[in-house]
Chains A and B, each alone.
Chain A
Amino acid sequence: MLVAASLAACGSKESAGSSAEGKSSAAGTKSSAKEINLLNVSYDPTRELYENYNKAFAAYWEKEKGQKVTIKQSHGGSGAQSRSVIDGLEADVVTLALGYDIDAIQKKGLIKEGWQSKFDLNSTPYNSTIVFLVRKGNPKQIKDWNDLIKNDVQVITPNPKTSGGARWNYLAAWGYALKQNNNDEEKTKEFVRDLYKHVPVLDTGARGATTTFVERGIGDVLLAWENEALLSVKELGPDKFDIVYPSVSILAEPPVAVVDKVVDKKGTREVAEGYLKYLYSEEGQKIAAENFYRPTLASVLDQYKDTFKDIQLFTLKDVFGTWDETQANHFSDGGVFDQIYTPGK
């Protein structure tokens, strides 16, 4: 039985082997008889998503290739996770909150250049956006970004300098204001400065901000990833919170990448690539949608169109360019975010 299975595995490898590199396919054949371990280093809110996806992928891979795969997960703040990988955590794949965190790993030589074009759609199998979570009935009548700077409105968002997610919040607000002010940078800056004046607490991470808003009852509106907002409403009851979709928001793209150095060393390239590729399959997309991430496959998105409201989205590339540029202009020391907060203010 075992022999048959491993023979089948070798057989299918032959056919798939042409695309895989010699070294990894040799190692793959050797390890096909025993169990393969993959480590997926991800960020906080994807825990449930990958718990479900890992089961589905293991079943798919065993059926397809006859190999048993066990996938381990590691979750934490996106930046901290990226640093762990840089410092030697042997991740086969990384699935992080922003491209900047994967760029950082690439700069240390663990991931080859051009990782973002290795998989479809800038290596982003699912995406999300930034929406508003408000208290039931929306007592402050918050409809769009410009309502956030009304007199007594308090906005909860984490610190963009310590939280990757918070950078998307900031960029979403920036993009809106830029559009509203016909690309006038000064007016845009003024708007964002105003917005952060309405922030009473700057948590270090997205989950902390959610706690502040939900548990501590502070603030009138929480800037949140759509998936987090949908999850909050589901977990805490739709009688407590409403989701408000602003007129325009950012397309938040959490990308994925294979950690080349690790998979070449471990001989897990084929399965690691398969793991990320399967995220784009109908099954992978459905699991993403069920965990409130926007699927990128049109047919699946269509099935879930009641969950994911259609809003106008702009991409990072449209407005800000690459992550390196965005980081340098806005979030690095002395950047726009610091200017908004430097003294005299």
Chain B
Amino acid sequence: MSQVKTGRSRVLPGFGLTLGYSVAYLSLVVLLPLSALLINSTGLDWAKFWQVATDPRVLASYRISFTTSAAAALVDTVLGLLLAWVLVRYEFPGRKLCDALIDLPFALPTAVAGVSLTALYAPNGWVGSLLEPLGIKIAFSQQGITLALMFIGLPFVVRTLQPVLQDAERDAEEASATLGAGRFRTFRSVILPGLVPPLLTGFALAFARGIGEYGSVVFISGNMPMKTEIAPLLIMSKLEQYDYAGAAAVALLLLLISFLMLLVINSLQRWSGRRKEAV
């Protein structure tokens, strides 16, 4: 049992781990000095920084950005696992096409995605008109933002999981089945542990992408202050007023928070990786 697992981690030498480290170091070495430079060049001082960063509307936008990104990344993690599983484990007509379609959100300009999603989910859209009578509001609400972020985040999870699933050896599952474990038990104790690090990586990537996303969200969110206004929109709004310092302040704080959250996710990954090896 442990033989198989160490074998597996040698096949992919800590994929999630290396990625995690890269992200962490990249942030430390590149992103933070970069933002410090930005702050310097815009002539921002700490008092102004604090004033901008603690503005209730800015705080609300952070809350909205982070909750919707987290929700979207969470859903993507589950959906992505399913999709990756189906694509790797089953042969069916159109599989290659499906596989290619996964990358569509990468290639599509996000504004196009935003406009299309809004057209679909607006109260008079194909889907929106069906949901509206049921009292479900998607477009111009936080659900709409989450939906847009799910759309652009999904490929990250699928593409992170696919290679891991591809490389996973089936004998462990077969052994588990022969030893009398049920399907759920096999999934929980044999398959899932190996998938935790890539799942976390996928989650982190989708989450990070969601926080910075602008184009697809501004169309579907309605941009209502305190309700559906995302942080990147406030950055744009400050730029529109030629308030470069204010924009830099919001951006920097956004960067810092995401960096901290990525760090947490990375340590989780490292921890689950270690635990796995210890089993």
Contact = CB atoms under 8 A, between A and B. Distances in A.
B122 A217 contact: yes
Interface residues of A, number: 29
Contacts of B233: 162, 204
Interface in A180-219: 200-204, 208, 211, 215-218
A83 B236 CA distance: 12
Contact of A202 (B124, B125, B225): B225
Contacts of B208: none
A175 interface: no
Contacts of B253: none
A216 B57 contact: no
A162 B240 contact: yes
Contacts of A77: 240
A282 to B, nearest CB: 36
A201 B140 contact: yes
A161 interface: yes
Contact of A332 (B55, B60, B139, B241): B241
B218 to A, nearest CB: 5
A201 B239 contact: no
Contacts of A80: 240
Nearest to A217: B124
A333 B244 CA distance: 13
A104 B244 CA distance: 12
A138 interface: no
A139 interface: no
A161 B123 contact: no
Contacts, number: 77
A83 B237 CA distance: 13
Given A162-B233, A216-B122, A201 B223 contact: yes
Contacts of B241: 79, 161, 327, 331-333
Interface string A328-345: 000111000010011100
B110 to A, nearest CB: 14
B240 A341 contact: no
Contact of A200 (B52, B118, B222): B222
Given A218-B122, A341-B226, A204 B242 contact: no
B122 A159 contact: no
From DSSP, what is the main secondary structure of chain A's interface residues?
loop
B213 to A, nearest CB: 14
B219 interface: yes
B237 A216 contact: no
A65 B32 CA distance: 56
A341 B233 CA distance: 16
Nearest to A337: B225
A216 B118 contact: yes
B242 A341 contact: no
Interface string B104-126: 00000000000100110011110
Given A79-B240, A333-B243, A204 B223 contact: yes
B237 A200 contact: no
Interface in A199-250: 200-204, 208, 211, 215-218
B198 interface: no
A161 B242 contact: no
B119 A216 contact: yes
Interface in B20-75: 52, 55-57, 60
A200 B236 CA distance: 21
Contacts of A163: 240
Contacts of A201: 140, 222-224
A162 B236 contact: yes
Given A162-B240, A331-B241, A202 B224 contact: yes
A117 to B, nearest CB: 23
Nearest to B121: A216
B246 interface: yes
20 contacts: A79-B242, A83-B239, A104-B242, A159-B223, A162-B223, A162-B237, A200-B222, A201-B140, A201-B224, A203-B219, A203-B223, A204-B218, A216-B124, A217-B122, A217-B123, A218-B123, A218-B124, A333-B246, A341-B226, A343-B226
Interface of A: 77, 79-80, 83, 104, 159, 161-164, 200-204, 208, 211, 215-218, 327, 331-333, 338, 341-343
